[in-house]
């Protein structure tokens, strides 16, 4: 799977794609839930499969979806559940989107 270069440069996509490519759980769902040809993400499907995930895994997904489209809300206080490695991922993704 090749991610189009223009999406890696897009401010709405790059933070989202960073989280999906760098987080071991989210990596599993790139091919099945992201359509690069249509530039869409199967948000409903991802939310459905994430129901049994840990709080920190759900936070990473919610943030990735929020960075893609702000209508997907995220509670930043949920970052308290993250370990140092995941916090680093989050800070980098935020920098890519807003920096």
pLDDT at 54: 96
Residue 47 has a pLDDT of 96
Whole-angstrom distance, CA of residue 93 vs CA of residue 67:
8
Q: What is the pLDDT of residue 2?
A: 85
- Name which of 11, 16, 14, 1 is nearest 61 in CA terms: 16
Read off the tokens for 2. 């090749």
Q: How many CA atoms lie within 13 A of 21 on its CB side?
A: 12
For the chain, 99 residues long, give each residue's pLDDT as a single digit of tens: 688 899 999 999 999 999 999 999 999 999 999 999 999 999 999 999 999 999 999 999 999 999 999 999 999 999 999 999 999 999 999 999 998
8 touches 83 (CB < 8 A): no
Locus of tokens 């997904």? 61
8 Å CB contact between 53 and 18: no
């Amino acid at each position: 799977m090749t991610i189009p270069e223009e999406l890696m440069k897009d401010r709405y996509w790059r933070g989202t794609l960073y989280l999906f490519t760098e987080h071991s759980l989210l990596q599993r769902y790139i091919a099945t839930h992201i359509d690069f040809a249509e530039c869409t993400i199967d948000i409903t499907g991802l939310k459905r499969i994430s129901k049994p995930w840990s709080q920190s895994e759900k936070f990473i997904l919610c943030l990735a979806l929020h960075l893609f489209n702000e209508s997907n809300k995220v509670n930043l206080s949920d970052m308290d559940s993250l370990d140092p490695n995941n916090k680093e991922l989050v800070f980098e993704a935020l920098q890519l989107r807003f920096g």
